[in-house]
Amino acid sequence: MLSKSLVYSALVSLAAARVQYLGVGIAGGDFGCQIDGSCPTGSTQLPLSSLGGGDGEGQMKHFVQDNQMNMFRLPISWQFLVNNKLGATLDSTNLAKYDKLVQACLATGAHCMVEIHNFARWNKVVIGQGDGSVTDDHFVSLWAQLATKYAAADRVVFELMNEPHDLDVTIWAATCGKAIAAIRNAGATTHTILLPGTNFNSAAKLVSSGSADALAALTNPDGTADGLLLDVHKYLDTDNSGTHAECVTNNTDAFAEVAAFLRRTGRKAIVSETGAAPGDAACLAMFCEQNAFINANADVFVGLVTWGAGSFSPSYLLSATPSRQGGKYVDNDLMAQCVVRTWREASDVAAAPPSSNSNGSVVLSATNSGDTVAAPTAPAAGTGTWATAITAASAALAGAASPTTLILAQPAGASGLGVPTGGDAPHVSATSAPVAPDTGVFPTASATENGTGFVTGSGPASPSTFVKVSWAVRVQMAPNGLLLLVMGLVAAALV
């Protein structure tokens, strides 16, 4: 459950309440890799048709042109890059093959994540923590060479390692710090670097494991944290492995905990791997809820990358690979609804607020049972300022998907907000729909639509006054009590 109330301002401008980067993992370079860090190079299937893999190039073009995605994750094994020679220079033949994929990604205009898929290991030995055969120097050498290779490509993102696990996170963080220094000293001074924690990067364990604190303490050689993002993963199945078709959680509690940590420490993160089984109704609902939550917290989550496409078949359990139909690529329902649609719709949600609404802003206050809502500073009733704020907000909303809706609320205990009543209630000119206010109890666990767009339901004893300003609203309550305000039609049922 969220510990603080969420307040959204819908005054004159609508800021984009969605992640900056949206994308997909273009898999194949990781094929054969096991969680013990063994990655047989004979299993590598780089996702390029010219190399015998999937059509990663065509898929990336589709994702950019049809879905406006702007980030792709390009996993590769450490063994492949050095041709199974630990500590060696990058193998020129294998690097050229991988670079062909990176260049295909860069050609789309997207950001491209170079990602080592070894689980913080080389052939069963943890980097810097095992029997001494795999050292920090080996790891630093790898990243120094990759940074030198891509120092001039500012849209390349360096993901230090896929899903470390079962290690001492304090020692691991120090290893990551050495890699950061190597990358910056190689000339990649502004490239984004993703910092992975233990427990397979799990959002549910990032804070409790100590990973978040250890990684947030890392800096660049100049002492800044510029370009350093915490790397977060989370699946929806019972053991967070992404190997089961059944989804059991929408992960909003886990991501809420991470978001709270990020705000408290002033850091940011990217969700670089998540996924669910397409074709399952429960997974569809939960995955959409998760991704809507991540987009709603875009002040701390800068990107969302789902898994996976590339050399995966469309029949793969967690496939995000589009199918070829009528000469073009078509996304499955999970991708279309839960990745692309939640992102596009989130762009029409009013973004996070200033600290007060003393300028007459229109405020939506969403709370959980037991939360405290401070009464906003607002103009007195009858001054006309409320109507002025409505007009300004309506003008801002006119550019959003039409028809749109603005919900206004006066928290219980607040006074002087001047909410109009009866037939004098304002309306949004974009829909020209005269409306009247409705009073209900803010729902925390259940909600139903009363037929006119209002939401009522059981919840805390303290009511809020809701005023409907146009017709097309759907307000969805996620299971953790977060209110999602979406402009336009939301297909998901109220829960």
pLDDT in tens, 374-385: 222 333 333 333
Q: Give the whole-angstrom CA distance, residue 434 versus residue 426.
A: 7
**Statement to judge: residues 325 and 387 lie in one domain:** no
Q: Give the whole-angstrom CA distance, residue 479 versus residue 464.
A: 20
At residue 129, what is the residue type?
Q
Residues 13-58 pLDDT 10s: 233 379 999 999 999 999 999 999 999 999 999 999 999 999 999 9
| Domain boundary, last residue among 346, 371, 393 | 346
Give the pLDDT confidence score for residue 111 in this predicted structure: 98
Cβ 123 vs Cβ 138: under 8 Å: no
**Statement to judge: residues 326 and 371 lie in one domain:** no
Residues 123-155 pLDDT 10s: 999 999 989 999 999 999 999 999 999 999 999
Cβ 103 vs Cβ 112: under 8 Å: no
Give the pLDDT confidence score for residue 17 in this predicted structure: 75
**Statement to judge: residues 84 and 143 lie in one domain:** yes
Greater confidence (145 vs 360) lies with 145
**Statement to judge: residues 292 and 183 lie in one domain:** yes
Cβ 114 vs Cβ 76: under 8 Å: yes
- Report how many domains make up the chain: 2
Residues 227-240 pLDDT 10s: 999 999 999 999 99
Give the pLDDT confidence score for residue 279 in this predicted structure: 86
- The end-to-end CA distance of the chain, in Å, is 16
Greater confidence (351 vs 428) lies with 351
Active site residues: 163, 273
- Report the SS3 class of residue 128: coil
Cβ 235 vs Cβ 242: under 8 Å: yes
Give the pLDDT confidence score for residue 179 in this predicted structure: 98
**Statement to judge: residues 280 and 374 lie in one domain:** no
Give 326-361 as a 3 state SS string: CCEEECCHHHHHHHHHHHHHHCCCCCCCCCCCCCCC
Length of the chain: 495
Residues 302-355 pLDDT 10s: 999 999 999 999 999 999 999 999 999 999 999 999 999 999 988 643 333 222
Residue 75 maps to a domain: yes
Cβ 378 vs Cβ 360: under 8 Å: yes
Give the pLDDT confidence score for residue 290 in this predicted structure: 95
Q: Give the whole-angstrom CA distance, residue 161 versus residue 78.
A: 10
- The sign of the dihedral angle between the CA atoms of 18, 482, 235, 285 is negative
Q: Using a cut of 0.85, tell me whether the model's pTM lies above it.
A: no
Q: Give the whole-angstrom CA distance, residue 207 versus residue 222.
A: 26
**Statement to judge: residues 117 and 144 lie in one domain:** yes
Residue 188 maps to a domain: yes
Give the pLDDT confidence score for residue 406 in this predicted structure: 38
Residue 291 maps to a domain: yes
Residue 356 maps to a domain: no
403 upstream amide cis, omega within 30 of 0: yes
Comparing 60-64, 307-311, 369-373, 403-407, the range with the smallest average pLDDT is 369-373
Give the pLDDT confidence score for residue 130 in this predicted structure: 86
Residues 218-275 pLDDT 10s: 999 999 999 999 999 999 999 999 999 999 999 999 999 999 999 999 999 999 999 9
Residue 477 maps to a domain: yes
List the beta strands (DSSP E) in 374-431. 407-410
Cβ 166 vs Cβ 205: under 8 Å: no
Residue 8 maps to a domain: no
Residue 9 maps to a domain: no
Give the pLDDT confidence score for residue 244 in this predicted structure: 92
Phi and psi angles of residue 309, each rounded to the nearest 5 degrees, phi first: -125, -140
Comparing 23-27, 62-66, 238-242, 449-453, the range with the smallest average pLDDT is 449-453
Q: Give the whole-angstrom CA distance, residue 260 versus residue 447.
A: 26
pLDDT at 407 over 80: no
Residues 100-117 pLDDT 10s: 999 999 999 999 999 999
Mean pLDDT of 404-425: 33
Q: Give the whole-angstrom CA distance, residue 20 versus residue 69.
A: 10
Cβ 366 vs Cβ 296: under 8 Å: no
**Statement to judge: residues 113 and 69 lie in one domain:** yes
**Statement to judge: residues 373 and 338 lie in one domain:** no
**Statement to judge: residues 341 and 465 lie in one domain:** no
Residue 2 maps to a domain: no
Residues 178-195 pLDDT 10s: 999 999 999 999 999 999
| Residues near 189 by beta carbon (within 8 Å), at least 6 away in sequence | none
Q: Give the whole-angstrom CA distance, residue 22 versus residue 343.
A: 8
Q: Which segments of 367-495 does DSSP mark as H helices, in order?
A: 385-397
| Residues near 402 by beta carbon (within 8 Å), at least 6 away in sequence | 430, 431, 488
Number of other CB atoms surrounding residue 178 within 10 Å: 16
At residue 122, what is the residue type?
W
Domain of residue 373, residue span: 363-486
| Domain boundary, last residue among 346, 378, 405 | 346
| Domain boundary, last residue among 311, 346, 381 | 346
Torsion of CA 329, 331, 332, 335, to 10 degrees: 160
**Statement to judge: residues 116 and 200 lie in one domain:** yes
Residues 456-489 pLDDT 10s: 222 222 223 332 222 222 222 222 322 223 222 2
**Statement to judge: residues 174 and 230 lie in one domain:** yes
**Tokens, residue 122:** 């080389």
Q: Give the whole-angstrom CA distance, residue 196 versus residue 26.
A: 19
Closest CA to 336 of 316, 306, 298, 303: 306
CATH number of the domain within which 199 lies: 3.20.20.80
Give the pLDDT confidence score for residue 347 in this predicted structure: 60
Q: How far is CA 383 from CA 159, 358, 402, 418, 426, in A?
A: 55, 14, 30, 8, 15
**Statement to judge: residues 309 and 405 lie in one domain:** no
